[in-house]
């Protein structure tokens, strides 16, 4: 599994009135951060424009390190990048090796990367609490991404809080048990996940809610939005499927519907903190929509919005009316983070293998043989992913490439070329008439 953590206004809004880490937190895919400063921006990021950027050189250190603590899990989710596996691999990193991995994270220096323990289900490791404590005591911001199994209970949630975990991500892929449990292929998961969500908020753990967008839940998204608003979340994170593992390409929505969902998310982001994983062209949409709003122009003539968008938008408006939400903000609650696979993000597997992210199966090293910092900085693959001039196809000539770059994982999954164009972006370079205004709002150099 993976990770995805924010909340809502009025009395539930203790997390989210400000803004913002996989089938769970930012799990295997390049997420955009889970832990934040009091003003809503993640630590070590600045927000001069609509796109947040780390304050340091991403060639030198990542913003997020994700460690797959185990692949063992009692669920069999439709989209999981792994096969069914309810037992530990005997070759997983030991407790001592997990501690050494965190020592390697410290070697990046300050500001330290956010460190996410994902799975599988991290609760399947008996030493999870000691591992969290080891990292937290050394000043690492630790987040956890568990599964919605009986292990997601009050005792375990309190124990990770006491050990020093700062945030947790949980997956909600439907607004009710019928949709969610069918996706997770185990009955009772929805109820357990919602209960764990509420307990985590009660004990003071920030919660990110992750939703994988598929054809099964496309038109349920406004109802999931309402659930996130009602219970409260640090962030609602929409994960856009990458066809790897058990995730099938036929479960994906169309490229046109990607555009529709991302525009819907922009609208929803005026009410709750929201973000995307493996949906990097959302950053383009954010600056395009903001530029149009400043000019007082509607999005339809410029954004190629289809009927799916209008259905989602109508349902969102209905949810807003029924919940009696306050008027939308002029600006989205959470600015997207400017990171991508291998460029601010790195994934370490249960055996210590290092990848640009969990959905990009190109191994670039192993922490048992080489330090994570050397792998991140010096791997030819990682270096190429940070060199946007190597992008090909539409991504290579797109005027928005410096703030987007597309999903490198999806490009590789669909073409075998990690630097090819994003297959599920419908934007035609040069077709938006207000590019200069959009970049001026973004805070990113064109």
Query: For the segment 212-252, what is each residue's pLDDT rounded down to a tens digit?
Result: 999 999 999 999 999 999 999 999 999 999 976 555 667 88
Residue found under tokens 């839940």: 217
- For 196-199, the CB contacts below 8 A with 24+ separation are 196/146, 196/148, 196/152, 196/153, 196/157, 196/170, 197/170, 197/172, 197/231, 197/233, 198/231, 199/153, 199/154, 199/157, 199/158
Q: Is the pLDDT of residue 34 over 80?
A: no
The CA–CA distances, whole Å, from 241 to 135, 269, 443 equal: 31, 20, 28
pLDDT tens string 286-306: 999 999 999 999 999 999 999
216 contacts 182 by C-beta, under 8 angstroms? yes
Q: What is the pLDDT of residue 28?
A: 56
pLDDT tens string 164-221: 999 999 999 999 999 998 888 789 999 999 999 999 999 999 999 999 999 999 999 9
Q: Mean pLDDT for the chain? A: 88
Q: Is the pLDDT of residue 357 over 80?
A: yes
Q: Is the pLDDT of residue 24 over 90?
A: no
Q: Half-sphere exposure (CA, 13 Å, Cβ side) for 89?
A: 18
Angle at 179 between CA 178 and CA 185, to 5 degrees: 85
Residue found under tokens 């950027």: 53
Q: Is the pLDDT of residue 12 over 50?
A: no
Q: Using pLDDT thresholds of 50, 70 and 90, give the confidence band for residue 365.
A: very high
Residue found under tokens 């003539």: 301
Coil, strand, or helix at residue 54? Answer: strand
- Mean pLDDT is lowest, of 2-16, 60-74, 303-317, for 2-16
Report the DSSP pairing between strands 45-46 and 53-54. antiparallel
pLDDT tens string 131-168: 999 999 999 999 999 999 999 999 999 999 999 999 99
Q: What is the pLDDT of residue 141?
A: 97
Residue found under tokens 């990009």: 360
Q: Which residues contact 21 (CB under 8 A, 6 or more apart)?
A: 3, 4, 5, 27, 31, 32, 33, 34, 64, 114, 116, 143, 145, 167, 169, 208, 237
Q: Is the pLDDT of residue 428 over 70?
A: yes
Q: What is the pLDDT of residue 6?
A: 27
Percent of the chain with pLDDT over 70: 85
Percent of the chain with pLDDT over 90: 77
- Residue 283 token pair: 């950053």
Give the CA dihedral 217, 30, 412, 439, nearest 10 degrees. 100
14 contacts 202 by C-beta, under 8 angstroms? no
Q: How many residues does the chain have?
A: 446
Average pLDDT on 55-62 reads 94
Q: At what angle do helices 282-294 and 435-442 cross, to 10 degrees?
A: 110
Average pLDDT on 406-432 reads 96
Average pLDDT on 338-343 reads 94
Q: Using pLDDT thresholds of 50, 70 and 90, give the confidence band for residue 82.
A: low
Q: What is the pLDDT of residue 53?
A: 86
């Amino acid at each position: 599994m993976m990770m995805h953590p924010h909340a809502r206004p009025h009395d539930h809004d203790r997390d989210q009135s400000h803004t913002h880490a996989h089938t769970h937190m930012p799990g295997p895919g390049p997420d955009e951060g889970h832990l934040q400063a009091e003003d809503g921006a993640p630590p070590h990021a600045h927000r001069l424009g609509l796109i947040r950027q780390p304050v340091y050189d991403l060639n030198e250190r990542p913003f997020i390190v994700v460690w797959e603590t185990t692949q063992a899990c009692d669920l069999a989710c439709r989209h999981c990048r792994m096969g069914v596996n309810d037992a530990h691999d005997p070759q997983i990193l030991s407790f001592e090796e997990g501690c050494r991995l965190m020592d390697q994270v410290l070697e990046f220096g300050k500001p330290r990367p956010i460190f996410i323990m994902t799975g599988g289900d991290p609760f399947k490791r008996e030493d999870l609490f000691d591992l969290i404590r080891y990292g937290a005591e050394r000043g690492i911001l630790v987040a956890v991404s568990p599964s919605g199994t009986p292990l997601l209970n009050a005792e375990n949630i309190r124990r990770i809080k006491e050990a020093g975990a700062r945030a947790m991500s949980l997956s909600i892929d439907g607004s009710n048990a019928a949709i969610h449990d069918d996706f997770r292929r185990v009955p009772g998961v929805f109820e357990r996940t919602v209960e764990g969500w509420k307990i985590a908020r009660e004990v003071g753990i920030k919660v990110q809610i992750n939703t994988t967008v598929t054809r099964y839940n496309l038109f349920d998204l406004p109802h999931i939005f309402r659930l996130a608003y009602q219970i409260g979340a640090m962030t609602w994170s929409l994960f856009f499927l990458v066809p790897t593992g058990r995730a099938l390409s036929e479960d994906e929505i169309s490229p046109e519907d990607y555009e529709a969902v991302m525009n819907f998310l922009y609208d929803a982001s005026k009410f709750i903190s929201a973000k995307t994983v493996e949906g990097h062209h959302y950053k383009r949409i954010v600056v395009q929509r903001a530029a149009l709003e400043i000019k007082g122009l509607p999005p339809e003539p410029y954004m190629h919005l289809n009927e799916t968008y209008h259905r989602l938008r109508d349902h969102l408006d209905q949810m807003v009316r029924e919940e009696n939400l306050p008027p939308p903000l002029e600006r989205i609650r959470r600015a997207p983070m400017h990171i991508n696979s291998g460029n601010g993000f790195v994934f370490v597997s249960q055996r210590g293998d290092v990848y640009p992210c969990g959905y990009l199966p190109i191994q670039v090293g192993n922490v048992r043989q080489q330090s994570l910092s050397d792998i991140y900085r010096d791997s030819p693959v990682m270096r190429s992913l940070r060199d946007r001039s190597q992008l090909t196809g539409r991504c290579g000539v797109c005027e928005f490439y410096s703030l987007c770059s597309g999903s490198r994982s999806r490009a590789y999954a669909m073409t075998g070329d990690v630097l090819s164009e994003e297959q599920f972006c419908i934007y035609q370079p040069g077709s938006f008439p207000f590019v200069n205004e959009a970049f001026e709002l973004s805070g990113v150099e064109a």
